[in-house]
Structure 1
Amino acid sequence: MSAEKLDALFGDPRDPDNPVGYAAVLAADERHEMLAEGERLLEAYGMNAEFVPAAYGGRLVRADRLAEVQRALWRRDPCLGLGYGFSSLLGSVNIWSAGTHEQRTKAAEILLGGGRIAAAFHELDHGNDFAHAECAAVPSDDGWLLTGRKEIVTNLRRAEAMVLFARTSEVAGSRSHSQFFVTRDELPADRVLDLPRFPSSGMNGVQLGGLRFSDCPIPGNAMLGRPGQGIENALRAYQLSRVVLPAILVGPLDTALRLALECVHERRLYGGVAADLPYVRAALARTYADLLAVDAFCGVGLRALHLAPEATLLYAPAVKYLTSRIVLDAFEDLRAVMGAQGYLREGSYAMFQKLVRDAAPATFAHISRSACLVLILPQLPRLARKSWLADPAAARQLFDLGADLPPLDFDQLAVGMLSGDGLIGVLAETAERESAGSPVGRFAVRFRDEVLALRDQCAALAPSDLTIGASPEAYAVADRYTVLLAAAAALAVWRSDDRQQEAALLGILDRLSGRLGGAPVLTPDERASAEQALFDIAVERFQDGRLLDLSARHVSG
């Protein structure tokens, strides 16, 4: 099975008779339902096998392959992507990371049998503040008694099993909570109540549910790991999903950009087509640069899960934080180009408004952007002092997207302080290698100088700036750091792939440097040339029926 196979099963999205085409997807969205034909298609494909490690009978071996298949699905319908299967990944990664052999076998049997595993972490009163979650489990004679609520959990009512996050100690700190893996039939019906479905403004078909537990017994062997390891388990396991989800969102953005390209070449304005307008071409070129930046950054993050798993505690939240902002901004830029067509729920471009609505919750779901920065901040002073501009760049293998990888090993994902930062090392090496007068060389110097400034700012951070109570200035430091990581990833990916054009790289670096502020690196003529080249590449790929991401593979629509 592959992304190409899934594309073929979905067929032509523009075919009105296609039961999983745009017309059917939009009709299900209007009814606030999951696309039933889509779920049947995914069941026949065996989508749940993508979430199960190969050692337990599934197809999960490479994180980048997992992301590629999910991207193919989300490109057609993000609601189906989240509601059918990805929510099961969010639950099951905790089992692959911390579960016993028996627990993993049980989870694999559920998923490979077509079942679902929900991730029951969220409580409305606490959001991402898991350390203060109130749903509690207390010891009983033969297990645990669970009391409290879980809310806004995808597929909770439909799931055959769930991973529960519950308080197991009244002592404050990171050891106060644990995880439990239970099946729904293990919960007495009179001790658990399904809450009404939570309506949402995006992902209309996804069933967001909740549960209320009242002294609900759960088995003594249900705990994942040891008591008090709930937060640690989540920090380790969710390193995978915090990179995979941003990589997936390239799919909906790809579709939205393709719709915009189609629209501007058909829409008549001022005696010509909209694509004739310099503003329109520039806006689309910049959005395309953003898509490529996200793809490169995510691609490196996915490979780091295999090749540098000790670093993904830092790189995963950095990817999730920055790419979510870029994707949201890109959709808004496209909406400005689409005009009224970007809001219509009927017609040739109605799919666009659904993609915008569906992408918004996906960018902050699972972990908020501010929570990502909280994970990054404690690492920065040590790295600034000991690693930045001192350690060499990471091995080229990290940036050779698509090259061979060792199997994903959840046991290698770690929680702790990093000793090195091979991505930042790319910026220093590029600044030394490239001609100082070339556009790429000027960008490299600009980013290297930003590292120097950031190093001084990190040295001045107070202890309180490394916590959730950090100052706005400290959050800004972490924000700028993520931009530098993305720039390093793009530079190294382009160096490793001769197929990519330098004009596209210049467009990416121009967009990223713009997020740092300061004087532009490119001259007006250089920027105009890069943006025209990006626009031409996008149009050529669109007309040739190829994806706009770095793979540029052919698709049916």
Structure 2
Amino acid sequence: MTATELARRLGDPWDTANPAGHTAVLAADERGEPFGAGEQILDAIGLNAEFVPADLGGRLARLDDLIRVMRQVFRRDPALGLGYGASSLIAAVNVWTAGDGRQRRRAADLLLGGGRIAAGYHELAHGNDFAGSALSAYAGPDGRRRLDGRKEVIANAARAEALVLFARTSASPGSRSHSQLLVERADLPAAGCRDLPRFLTSGMRGVLLGGLAFRDCPVPADAVLGEPGRGIETALRSFQITRTALPAMAVGVLEAGLDATARFTDARVLYGRPLGDMPLIRSVLADAYADLLICDCLGLVAARSAHLVPDQMSLYASAVKYFVATLLTDAMYELSRVLGAQFYIRDGEYGIFQKLLRDLPPAGFGHAARAACLGTVLPQLPRLARRAWRAGDVPPVETYRLGGSLPPLSFDRLTVTSGGRDGHSAALTLALDAPDVPAEVRRLLHIVAVEFDALVRECAALPPGDLSVDARPEALDLPARYAAVLAATACVNVWLHNRDRGGEFLADPRWVVAALRRIVIRLRRDPGPRSRDQDRVLAAEALARHHRNSGFGLSDER
């Protein structure tokens, strides 16, 4: 299944008679229901196969391909993307990462048969504090484990055939006291497992968020994924796939927002001329489009890194989750300025925009807050500053090439930390030294490089007290700045390595200049005066892609 084929199945979103168009999506959202017509289409094409590794009979061979397909789903309905697909992916990755042959086979068969797996991480009383998770699964005298406690805010809790539950399996303190368990709803006695009432939300109204309460509920002794006590490690490794994939999929939401805004500018005449001809409107469109391309570059590079440098993914996945989710949300709010009152009207031709705007924050939040992602990177920064950032080792060139070949995705090669390795940062210097980089690209890259030099010094001097949950708020600014540097490196290297193979627009340095300007502003540095020609080129490209029903990303798929 390709992204283009899926888009064709979903049909024209603006056709009011299309059962999978915007009108139908909005109607389901108003009812607070899953988008039934969309689910039927995804059932018919067997979308779940995209989440199952190829060696288990599925279609998951490349993470970048999975992202491209799922972006089409998120573009049509973010609640469909999260509720139908991503929720099962979040759970299943833990099985692919730590499960034995039997568990992997069972999860694969369930998904390939059209079933769902739900991930039970959250307890509202503990948030992202996994070590404080209270649901217990202690071994009983009969050898089986018994669940006691509750899990909340679980997508598809009531209609999933299986669950991956994060639970305490030892009363001892420390990081080895929790495990993950794969359990099937059919194996849970009704007396021991109770569905909690649905959580109603303002965004993602079509996602069935619920919870489960357990009381002395027996589960098989072999339900534990991997070695008992390795639950946190398994979660941190599997998050490297989902923290990369979910924000990159959610780029489809901004694509849909740009499409709606472009349609609006086409239809409006103000002061005797088309809205899109006004410099202010062009600048908003250009900035939002540049932000989308930044997100696409960083997501692509991280997805390909999962195949090529999986031991460094603890850095890149967290950077994607933080930076991409932030840019997408901010860009959508900027686009809302163009639509004016139309952006909050819940029905009519542009009613889809307010739904996209409401759905995007929870799509970016997912199963871990952005601050938690910064906290994952922060303790690694001093070692990176002393070792990796001075070593000069760069990742394979295939990391940056669109559609380039990739080795298989090896879940067992993911590690909790990068071990002081970071090739992408070294690629910044390599790009700065390239002989054929235009002067404006080089100037902006130099600003990023100066920022990176300052970052190296500050990270090397971090006191031990700032490397834990007690870190000062200003310490968390360091991994945020590091994510921005990675984004700049991704953009310029994607441009450098695809100029002769990615089409006329991708070869044009003006898009990478726009992207670097946006990143420099994020770094709170002065990028210099903006170019009206640059705004004109990017805004025109965004409008042209709307006219020819193309994607807005790097690949320009119809």
How does the TM-score come out when normalised to structure 1? Answer: 0.97
Distance 2:110 2:395 in 1: 39
Uncovered stretches (5+) of structure 2, i.e. residues with no partner: none
Q: Which range moved further: 231-240 or 383-392? A: 383-392
Whether 1:541 aligns to 2:548 is no
Which amino acid in the other structure matches residue 21 of structure 2?
A: G
Structure 1 vs Structure 2 CA RMSD: 1.3
**CA deviation digits over 1:156-180, x for unaligned, max 9?**
1000000010011222221111000
Shift of 1:336: 1.1
Distance 2:245 2:124 in 1: 25
Shift of 1:119: 0.2
Aligned to 1:519: 526
Question: Secondary structure of the equivalent of 1:33?
Answer: coil
Distance 2:379 2:284 in 1: 37
Does the 8 Å CA contact 1:388/1:451 hold for their aligned counterparts? no
Does the 8 Å CA contact 1:201/1:357 hold for their aligned counterparts? yes
1:53-92, aligned counterparts within 5 Å? 53-92=53-92
Aligned to 1:224: 225
Does the 8 Å CA contact 1:52/1:60 hold for their aligned counterparts? yes
Does the 8 Å CA contact 1:321/1:369 hold for their aligned counterparts? yes
Which amino acid in the other structure matches residue 196 of structure 1?
A: P
Whether 1:108 aligns to 2:115 is no
Distance 2:422 2:346 in 1: 46
**CA deviation digits over 1:401-439, x for unaligned, max 9?**
211111211111112342322111122122223579811
Distance 2:390 2:522 in 1: 21
Distance 1:479 1:3 in 2: 31
Distance 2:93 2:8 in 1: 28
Shift of 1:2: 1.6
1:488-527, aligned counterparts within 5 Å? 488-498=489-499, 499=503, 500=506, 501-520=508-527, 522-524=528-530, 527=531
Distance 1:342 1:418 in 2: 46
Aligned to 2:120: 120
1:32-431, aligned counterparts within 5 Å? 32-140=32-140, 141-431=142-432
Distance 1:217 1:182 in 2: 10
Shift of 1:300: 0.1
Distance 2:369 2:435 in 1: 37
Distance 1:114 1:426 in 2: 42
Distance 2:32 2:180 in 1: 31
How many aligned positions are there? 551
**CA deviation digits over 1:33-64, x for unaligned, max 9?**
11212111111100111111111111111101
Distance 2:261 2:435 in 1: 36
Which amino acid in the other structure matches residue 444 of structure 1?
A: L
Shift of 1:553: 1.3
Question: Secondary structure of the equivalent of 1:418?
Answer: coil
Distance 1:103 1:392 in 2: 38
Shift of 1:393: 2.9
Question: Secondary structure of the equivalent of 2:212?
Answer: strand
Which amino acid in the other structure matches residue 202 of structure 1?
A: G
Which amino acid in the other structure matches residue 104 of structure 2?
A: R
Distance 1:552 1:15 in 2: 22
**CA deviation digits over 1:125-169, x for unaligned, max 9?**
111111101111111122111100100000010000000100112
Does the 8 Å CA contact 1:389/1:428 hold for their aligned counterparts? no
Distance 2:269 2:397 in 1: 47
Question: Secondary structure of the equivalent of 1:197?
Answer: strand
Distance 2:472 2:306 in 1: 31
Which amino acid in the other structure matches residue 158 of structure 2?
A: R
Aligned to 1:468: 469
Does the 8 Å CA contact 2:119/2:165 hold for their aligned counterparts? yes
Q: Which range moved further: 37-46 or 285-294? A: 37-46
Does the 8 Å CA contact 1:162/1:181 hold for their aligned counterparts? yes
**CA deviation digits over 1:276-310, x for unaligned, max 9?**
22111101100000000000000000000000000
**CA deviation digits over 1:92-125, x for unaligned, max 9?**
1100110010001111111111111000111011
Question: Secondary structure of the equivalent of 2:211?
Answer: strand
Distance 2:510 2:204 in 1: 36
Distance 2:113 2:336 in 1: 41
Distance 1:245 1:532 in 2: 31
Distance 2:318 2:21 in 1: 34
Q: 1:337 to 1:434 in 2, by over 3 A?
A: farther
Moved over 6 A (4+): none
Does the 8 Å CA contact 1:391/1:420 hold for their aligned counterparts? no
Does the 8 Å CA contact 1:391/1:421 hold for their aligned counterparts? no
Does the 8 Å CA contact 1:293/1:490 hold for their aligned counterparts? yes
Does the 8 Å CA contact 2:312/2:417 hold for their aligned counterparts? no
Distance 2:240 2:438 in 1: 39
Distance 1:161 1:190 in 2: 18
Does the 8 Å CA contact 1:146/1:213 hold for their aligned counterparts? yes
Does the 8 Å CA contact 1:263/1:338 hold for their aligned counterparts? yes
Question: Secondary structure of the equivalent of 1:253?
Answer: helix
Shift of 1:529: 2.3
Whether 1:531 aligns to 2:535 is yes
Distance 1:32 1:343 in 2: 18
Distance 1:431 1:252 in 2: 33
Distance 1:538 1:205 in 2: 29
Aligned to 1:451: 452
Question: Secondary structure of the equivalent of 2:433?
Answer: helix
Does the 8 Å CA contact 2:310/2:413 hold for their aligned counterparts? yes
Shift of 1:535: 1.0
Q: Which range moved further: 115-124 or 10-19? A: 10-19
Distance 1:242 1:204 in 2: 22
Which amino acid in the other structure matches residue 258 of structure 2?
A: L
Aligned to 1:30: 30
Distance 1:551 1:134 in 2: 45
Distance 1:217 1:448 in 2: 56
Which amino acid in the other structure matches residue 441 of structure 1?
A: R
Does the 8 Å CA contact 1:294/1:323 hold for their aligned counterparts? yes
Which amino acid in the other structure matches residue 424 of structure 2?
A: L
Which amino acid in the other structure matches residue 336 of structure 1?
A: R
Shift of 1:392: 3.5
Shift of 1:468: 1.4
Which amino acid in the other structure matches residue 63 of structure 2?
A: A
Which amino acid in the other structure matches residue 532 of structure 2?
A: A
Distance 1:209 1:484 in 2: 38
Distance 1:262 1:469 in 2: 48
Shift of 1:389: 4.3
Does the 8 Å CA contact 1:117/1:162 hold for their aligned counterparts? yes
Shift of 1:459: 1.6
Question: Secondary structure of the equivalent of 1:547?
Answer: coil
Distance 1:480 1:87 in 2: 30
Does the 8 Å CA contact 2:313/2:418 hold for their aligned counterparts? no
Which amino acid in the other structure matches residue 431 of structure 1?
A: L
Question: Secondary structure of the equivalent of 1:114?
Answer: coil
